[in-house]
A and B are shown apart, each in its own frame.
Chain A
Amino acid sequence: MEKIKNIGDFFKMYVEGFKNLSKTSKILWTIIIVKLFIMFAVMRAFLFPNFLNSKFDTEEEKAEYVIEQITNN
């Protein structure tokens, strides 16, 4: 590829870069994608629900609960 002269060439750089990834780069991208999938599609969805959102519908209810927790000893 020639040197970048305009914005179109700039995007071509991305396309060519991804097309010509080295073996190590392909492995790294695979790791990134698998990791993000595990983090967001599995962990976030099934293992890490937002505790207050799962118990209460309104901000007032959440506030009431948190106040009760931090003053309840």
Chain B
Amino acid sequence: MDLSLIDWSRAQFALTAIFHWVFVPLTLGLGVIMCIFETIYYRTGDEKWKRLAKFWIKLFGINFAIGVATGIILEFEFGTNWSNYSYFVGDIFGAPLAIEGIIAFFLEATFIAVLFFGWNKVSKGFHLASTWITVIGATLSAWWILVANAWMQFPAGMDFNPDTARNEMTDFLAVALSPVAVNKFFHTVLSAWMLGAAFVIGVSSWFLLKKREHEFAVNSIKVAAIVGVVGIALTFWTGHSSAQKVAKYQPMKLAAMEALYQGKNGTELIGIGVVNPAKEAYNDSVKPVVAKIAFPKMLSWLATGDLDAFVPGIQDIIEGGYETENGTALSFDQKQEKGKIAQNALKVYRAAKADSIQNEKEACDSLRDARRVEYVQTMAVAREEIDANIGNLGYGYLNTPEETIPNVGLTFYAFHFMVIFGGYFLLFFIFAWFLNRKGVNGVWAKNKWLQLLGLISIPLAYLTSQAGWIVAEVGRQPWTIQDVLPVGASISKIPTSSVQITFFVFLTVFTVLLIAEVGIMLKSIQKGPENE
């Protein structure tokens, strides 16, 4: 397979996903905060909260409008660039994506109109309900997209059908409520609250810097800081749970996140470090990290809840032989062997099926019955072998153990960026809440350095959020479906140049949209909240 085709297809998908993720977290995070503002207005009847709610709803609307349907492009790419993958998983993805579409269309499209057109035309209660339903609808949409993503990281509730070459859903709840999906949903949505809170505090800080709208700004910060503290604290909590899922189902990703090549009991957690570029092979003696500050035994605790537990490194995972809760870990060679058995059984099954069809058409009566029995037996044996080894099918496609290792440097740095700035945001929101307590006389309202910090925290929040997705998606390479389908077997055999062309078309369109988003957003912020 042409490596440049794989890389361009990946680059295009990454570009689209990263761009899409510029809009989604602000919709989810700002959405919750504006709901709280309007709820306060509903409860107090104080017009200042209505003015405040209307301003943030306007920014929510701008973000929503520019970002709408950007995710659909990912589905275009499935059909064109990732056709094998798309066909292979089609039946699993169909239900979650259809539900997502219905929820998005009916809930959001109906109630978002009331949100923007319904002020003074519906009761305060109905308007508030519409605001909440719009945001809950957007959040539920995210659930189904994340269910689809989680299934790729932890395929559950499916059965591979060798007749159709597709995975078929056998247990909807196992797909919709898989532990990885549930955890991914909460981790992702709560991190979006963090981003929304950082956005509100940043914009409010800008008003304070400009010595405008003091009361508006401090009231906005007051609510956003609390949402931010709750959001980031729960993001850390679900992050711990996420690490445990990764340790269990995607140990190679966890090893790459920590540049851990040789595991041990009581493994340290690197707080900050530099990956050694001189390390060339997973089994050489070169140190993987040249400078680091580490916390003893904490990776073992993070991954398992036990300070002394064994955490396998990249070399351990490739060589196997260590104990897991499901028995002794298989080596790459053993998994590859199982993958090849599954591949071969698949070929045998398909050949026997084709022969049996031919037999039914052409053979004479006496031969037909005898051969029919033979084909049925061959297919039954092959089916058993497929079922027994389908979980390692993808290894049969790989040639060397090195192919199972994701980009360690990128995964490592993205993970540490996410964690370090996650920690920064925990402190940031606590300080924002504490220093804003006395309102317009509070420290935040008077100190321009804090306000500047608030402002630069907006891009930092975006980078932290994107870093999380880089960990999740780069760390799971080379798999599109964990252990079952690698990227090389997933892509369409199309000219690399066509993927390059569409990459740059997207880059142009996305850049224009982003400029439009930022431009309209800045103009609306400069205009400030309106007086009725």
Contact = CB atoms under 8 A, between A and B. Distances in A.
Nearest to B77: A48
A35 B80 contact: no
Given A13-B118, A31-B66, A66-B165, A51 B83 contact: yes
B166 A63 contact: yes
Contacts of A38: 509
A63 B163 contact: yes
A41 interface: no
A13 B117 contact: yes
Interface string B251-278: 0000000000000000000000000000
Interface in B134-157: none
20 contacts: A3-B120, A4-B121, A9-B121, A25-B61, A28-B65, A28-B66, A28-B520, A29-B65, A31-B513, A43-B76, A47-B80, A47-B498, A49-B80, A52-B83, A52-B87, A66-B87, A66-B88, A67-B346, A69-B489, A71-B346
Interface string A10-51: 000110110000001101110110011011000110011111
Interface in B480-532: 485, 489, 492-494, 498, 501-502, 505, 509, 513, 516, 520, 523-524
A53 to B, nearest CB: 8
A73 interface: yes
Nearest to A32: B65
B116 interface: yes
Interface stretch (B18-26, B194-202, B290-298, B391-399): B391-399
Contacts of A7: none
A48 B76 CA distance: 6
Given A4-B122, A28-B520, A70-B397, A35 B69 contact: yes
A3 to B, nearest CB: 6
Contact of A50 (B83, B393, B502): B83
Among A17, A49, A69: residue with most chain B CB under 10 A: A69
Interface of B is mostly: helix
Given A3-B122, A44-B76, A69-B489, A59 B350 contact: no
Given A24-B520, A39-B72, A73-B397, A63 B113 contact: no
Given A43-B505, A50-B83, A69-B489, A27 B520 contact: yes
A70 B165 CA distance: 10
Nearest to B163: A63
Nearest to B87: A66
Contact of A31 (B65, B123, B494, B498): B65
A72 B291 CA distance: 43
B343 interface: yes
B79 interface: yes
B84 interface: yes
Interface in B61-98: 61-62, 65-66, 68-69, 72-73, 76-77, 79-81, 83-84, 86-88
A16 to B, nearest CB: 7
